[in-house]
Amino acid sequence: MSASLPRALAAEAVGTALLVATVVGSGVMAERLAGGNGALALLGNTLATGAMLVVLILMFSPLSGAHFNPAVSLVFALRRELPTRRLAPYVAVQIAGAVAGALLAHAMFELPILQASTNVRTGAAQWLSEFVATFGLVGAILCTLRARASAVAYVAGLYISAAYWFTASTSFANPAVTVARSLTDTFSGIQPGNVAAFVAAQVVGAVAALVFFAWLLAGGGEQSHCTRLKRPSERNSKVPAAAAASHFSVDER
Amino acid sequence: MSASLPRALAAEAVGTALLVATVVGSGVMAERLAGGNGALALLGNTLATGAMLVVLILMFSPLSGAHFNPAVSLVFALRRELPTRRLAPYVAVQIAGAVAGALLAHAMFELPILQASTNVRTGAAQWLSEFVATFGLVGAILCTLRARASAVAYVAGLYISAAYWFTASTSFANPAVTVARSLTDTFSGIQPGNVAAFVAAQVVGAVAALVFFAWLLAGGGEQSHCTRLKRPSERNSKVPAAAAASHFSVDER
Amino acid sequence: MSASLPRALAAEAVGTALLVATVVGSGVMAERLAGGNGALALLGNTLATGAMLVVLILMFSPLSGAHFNPAVSLVFALRRELPTRRLAPYVAVQIAGAVAGALLAHAMFELPILQASTNVRTGAAQWLSEFVATFGLVGAILCTLRARASAVAYVAGLYISAAYWFTASTSFANPAVTVARSLTDTFSGIQPGNVAAFVAAQVVGAVAALVFFAWLLAGGGEQSHCTRLKRPSERNSKVPAAAAASHFSVDER
Amino acid sequence: MSASLPRALAAEAVGTALLVATVVGSGVMAERLAGGNGALALLGNTLATGAMLVVLILMFSPLSGAHFNPAVSLVFALRRELPTRRLAPYVAVQIAGAVAGALLAHAMFELPILQASTNVRTGAAQWLSEFVATFGLVGAILCTLRARASAVAYVAGLYISAAYWFTASTSFANPAVTVARSLTDTFSGIQPGNVAAFVAAQVVGAVAALVFFAWLLAGGGEQSHCTRLKRPSERNSKVPAAAAASHFSVDER
């Protein structure tokens, strides 16, 4: 038990670093190769980010919960699923790891290590996008954890892949990643002056999701919905609850 | 139990809203970035839609069945797997959610909130496409629910990803989504006057699938086919039936 | 039992029809939209075909084995996992379904229903490609069925997605699909005069895989390798064998 | 037992050959079709490679562990999970298979069978990229094997898909593949004189990962972390440990 907090923090730091190295690095690679076509650049950036997110959550969730995201850690702390005293160290190493990941990407691509973004991302539509992106991410995590915990890694990766395209801000949805992306003047950057408002929108979105999905998922014990499926044959079967939970038909409650 | 219908309706509304926000929003993003190349635009639109569909079904299926689609709800009501008195409220909130999702996408992309599409989609070939698209979607759901319920989310997402490309209409396959897409004059829109015929083709396709697959899947209890695999070692194993069901070899029946 | 052969044949026919409708239809869509860029066209074609293959195998494998491919049915017949008297009807409905699928795609895209391809695909390098493509496909199916039957649908879809790109022929790997593709003068077509050699190369590849993988997989009962993993804790665990089978480390045998 | 070493070596040889045939072949196909757009070419190359890696690991892991990579075999030998006397034959057949795969790709695409690459890939940034790529690959394998062995094939395929984009070297991360890619003067080649430094960076990255992740994963028996999840209801449930392991929330240790 004594070794556990250092290991959890190491997992959060290394995971967030690899996540940001992927976001920034694949943005550089994609922009270099895309010949000016923004859709192609975003496609490469999306593919790499979504894939890496699945990998990192599968790797690190048994060690630290695989948050890599202060907004997610905040939600779990508020739900008392992360001990409150762990919140500050989690957020600290997430930010430190994220910044290290951006610098690592610069080193791999022979760019100046220290940069500041000049990419303007501001305005109400951008903030709405970040609110929606983070609301959906937190909701996806909470719902999936409840019914099909083994699918969370895939859900998070697929959600972010979609959100890169359906929100106008390309879905940062993560305060630590937002801070780190202010330190790269490449495809995925955000001007430092625009960071605070993005982070605020993300936190508001995360807390709104916490409240809404707490109501939506209320009304039973763990995986309660999974045990209310219509057919008796399934209710008593030995099929894991997680498998049964995706059943389309529901009974009247 | 008293809270359950409101929660199911909230799940259908929010899920359908996020689905349409993804369809419309990713269409706007993809078209803006694609530099006039339609294949690139459709690629971005497909990726986002397919990924989000998987996420939403995994999130909401334990709460409402995760239909997000009046044609699917109709089929389940006709099969008596959705209580008949739930059909009307389901369809109502699906349409309301879908419209809200389109407006949300407009807000995120700083477009006029209220629009009407000028995108002409009509003619026998388009209607045939919608018939095929919905027939296949309903068939995919019914077959997979029977044999491997835990895979339905992936099947629906992959099916729609393929159907965006193999049908000439890019597979709306959903009356609520069709209505909402008439309210956006962007990549994914459909002229309001073309909606009724699309919806009719979708409903006919869904009912045709209901009839055909009821025959195809008849002849046994739940997951009956899964228990008829050739090898005795598997028949008695503790491997979940859902896993065994995809076995390629079959015995003579 | 009396209804079972008709249902298996219906599953093979409908499945193969949807597969070819996807191959041909997505080829037409992709070529129309790609603005002359062959890589973009192949990308759309690949995405749709791979996704649909996963869907169709998950849908139909409990009913018919989900072969959709005379070369695969031949291999299972030779392995006595498909009753020999079923081989001819399987192949007949696969070809009929495949042809119907091509015609359906033409109807959806408002093309002349009856066509003959002018797409020349011939020569030793193309035939080698078809040999390799079919050898790999049959090997992938046989190995995965042995160790992780529940993953076969994903393996087949991913294999074909890769094979569209790594073989010079874009991997037809299926005699029924090859015949049907001779009837479309679009992106995915093959000149009728080139069909016989393709089919021959596919059959030789399938039989070579049957022989090689029979040797490779010999030496034990069902899933024998899965029970020889190194760690005693796993050998006795209740984790399904299919899950344990992908373990990387092996002991000395 | 007597047949087992030959079969394991055959699995490693055939698997590595198909992997390199995919890397080289899809690179040729993608470059031919992409019309000079590097992002499109890399997209096709990534898609094929990632998909094939998943397929090959699912196929061959019960037979040989599905390493296909001398750096991975070295790590397992150092961890005593591969018998030391197997290391040399494993590496030998991996290199032989890799070279055969490159030649096979040339034959399929009607290129001169024997070639030497003129593609310069050198310098500190490239070597750092290979270090990072291999460190992450080995880490992903070790962590996932511990907590969710059944997901290793997907993790490896997704990791390499991401790493093609986020490292400046496009992630060779495999000494056998690097040697073979020096023998093709196409998209995926590397000049023979640049091979040694790449291999050195890969081996250093692999050993660094071995050390770091041994520490990170220390502190308990097999899957120890999976049994430390917060909620008592899960700790005693019959859900497979692999499924429970991806839970986001963790308790204080």
Contact A48/B at CB under 8 A = no
- Helices A84-108 and A70-78 pack at an angle, to 10 degrees, of 170
Rounded Cα–Cα distance for residues D239 and A150 (Å):
10
Q: Residue A253: is its pLDDT beyond 80?
A: no
DSSP 8-class letter at C183: T
Mean pLDDT across C154-165: 98
Contact D221/C at CB under 8 A = yes
Rounded Cα–Cα distance for residues D41 and A33 (Å):
9
Rounded Cα–Cα distance for residues B250 and B252 (Å):
7
Contact C231/D at CB under 8 A = yes
- Phi, psi values for residue D75, rounded to 5°: -60, -45
Per-residue pLDDT tens for D129-152? Answer: 999 999 999 999 999 999 899 999
CA distances (Å), origin C37, targets B39, B82, C42, C89, D36: 9, 47, 9, 41, 10
Least CA distance to D170: which residue of chain A? A29
SS3 content of chain B, % helix, strand, coil (to 5): 70, 0, 30
Rounded Cα–Cα distance for residues A85 and A83 (Å):
6
Residues of B in contact with C108 (CB under 8 A): 125, 128-129, 132, 166-168
CA distances (Å), origin B84, targets A152, B81, B88: 33, 9, 8
CB contact under 8 A, D253 and A5: yes
Mean pLDDT across A104-120: 98
Mean pLDDT across B168-176: 98
- Nearest CB to C253; choose among D4, D22, D153: D4
Q: What pLDDT does residue B243 have?
A: 34
- The CA distance from B182 to the nearest CA of chain A, in Å, is 18
Chains that touch D (3 or more CB pairs under 8 A): A, C
Q: What pLDDT does residue B43 have?
A: 98
Mean pLDDT across A112-118: 97
Continuous segment of H or E residues that includes residue C104: helix C84-108
Residues of B in contact with C137 (CB under 8 A): none
Per-residue pLDDT tens for D90-122? Answer: 999 999 999 999 999 999 999 999 999 999 999
- Nearest CB to D1; choose among C166, C245, C253: C253
Mean pLDDT across A102-131: 98
Chains that touch C (3 or more CB pairs under 8 A): B, D
Rounded Cα–Cα distance for residues B105 and B56 (Å):
17
Contact C62/D at CB under 8 A = no
Contact B59/A at CB under 8 A = yes
Per-residue pLDDT tens for C122-138? Answer: 999 999 999 999 999 99
Look up residue D238 and give its two tokens.
Answer: 């019959």
Q: What pLDDT does residue C17 have?
A: 98
Q: What pLDDT does residue A147 have?
A: 85
CB contact under 8 A, C252 and D83: yes
- Nearest CB to A166; choose among B8, B29, B32: B29
Q: Which residues of D149-177 are buried (b: 16+ CB within 10 A; e: fewer)?
A: bbbbbbbbbbbbbbbbbbbbbbbbbbbbb
B214 or A239: whose pLDDT is higher?
A: B214
Look up residue D196 and give its two tokens.
Answer: 């040694």
DSSP for D91-160, written as a single string: HHHHHHHHHHHHHHHHHHTT--SS--------SHHHHHHHHHHHHHHHHHHHHHHHH-GGGHHHHHHHHH
CA distances (Å), origin C147, targets A193, D105, D239: 55, 28, 21
Least CA distance to B47: which residue of chain A? A162
B236-245, C191-200, D48-57: the lowest-pLDDT one:
B236-245
Rounded Cα–Cα distance for residues D134 and D174 (Å):
8
Whose CA is closest to C148, among C252, C247, C12, C250? C247
- Nearest CB to C216; choose among D41, D54, D63: D63
Least CA distance to C212: which residue of chain D? D10
Rounded Cα–Cα distance for residues A199 and A98 (Å):
15
Per-residue pLDDT tens for D231-251? Answer: 333 333 333 333 333 334 443
Q: Residue B117: is its pLDDT beyond 50?
A: yes
Sequence-ordered list of residues with C-beta below 8 angstroms from that of C176, at least 6 positions apart, any chain: C16, C20, C68, C69, C70, C91, C94, C95, C97, C98
CB contact under 8 A, A149 and D219: no
Per-residue pLDDT tens for A217-248? Answer: 996 433 333 223 333 333 333 333 333 333 34
Which of B145, B233, B248 should we substitute to test contact with C (largest number of C Cβ atoms within 10 Å)? B248
Mean pLDDT across D18-35: 98
Mean pLDDT across C150-168: 98
Percent of chain A residues topping a pLDDT of 70:
85
Q: What is the mean pLDDT of chain D?
A: 88
DSSP 8-class letter at D233: H
Report the residue count for chain B. Answer: 253
SS3 content of chain C, % helix, strand, coil (to 5): 70, 0, 30
Q: What pLDDT does residue B138 have?
A: 98
Q: What pLDDT does residue B147 have?
A: 85
Please, which pLDDT band fits residue B231 given cuts at 50, 70 and 90?
A: very low
Touching B: C residues 97-156, CB under 8 Å? 104-105, 107-110, 141, 145, 149-153
- The amino acid occupying position C245 is A
CB B80 within 8 A of CB B93: no
Which of B42, B59, B148, B224 should we substitute to test contact with A (largest number of A Cβ atoms within 10 Å)? B59
Mean pLDDT across C99-116: 98
- Nearest CB to B246; choose among C11, C152, C240: C152
Per-residue pLDDT tens for C17-38? Answer: 999 999 999 999 999 999 999 9
Mean pLDDT across A85-94: 98
CB B66 within 8 A of CB B72: no
Contact B6/C at CB under 8 A = no
Contact C234/D at CB under 8 A = yes
Q: Residue C238: is its pLDDT beyond 70?
A: no
- Helices D38-64 and C152-166 pack at an angle, to 10 degrees, of 130
* ipTM higher than the 0.85 cut: yes
- The CA distance from B88 to the nearest CA of chain A, in Å, is 14
Rounded Cα–Cα distance for residues A27 and D22 (Å):
25
Please, which pLDDT band fits residue B2 given cuts at 50, 70 and 90?
A: very low
Q: What is the mean pLDDT of chain B?
A: 88
CA distances (Å), origin B143, targets B77, B136, B208, C50: 17, 10, 14, 19
Mean pLDDT across D171-184: 98
Whose CA is closest to D61, among C62, C155, B230, B235? C155
Least CA distance to D240: which residue of chain C? C239
Q: What pLDDT does residue C219 have?
A: 66
Please, which pLDDT band fits residue B219 given cuts at 50, 70 and 90?
A: low
Mean pLDDT across A90-114: 98
CB contact under 8 A, A162 and B26: yes
Mean pLDDT across C217-233: 44
CB contact under 8 A, C43 and D47: yes
DSSP for D175-203, written as a single string: HHHHHHHTT--STT---GGGHHHHHHHHH
| Residue found under tokens 């239909």 | B67
Three-state secondary structure call for residue B147: helix
Per-residue pLDDT tens for B55-64? Answer: 999 999 999 9
Neighbours of B252 (CB within 10 A): 13
- The CA distance from C194 to the nearest CA of chain D, in Å, is 17
- Nearest CB to D250; choose among A8, A18, A45: A8
- Nearest CB to D166; choose among A48, A57, A72: A48
Percent of chain D residues topping a pLDDT of 70:
85
Look up residue A99 and give its two tokens.
Answer: 């910044």
DSSP for C5-55, written as a single string: HHHHHHHHHHHHHHHHHHHHHHHHHHHHHTTT-HHHHHHHHHHHHHHHHHH
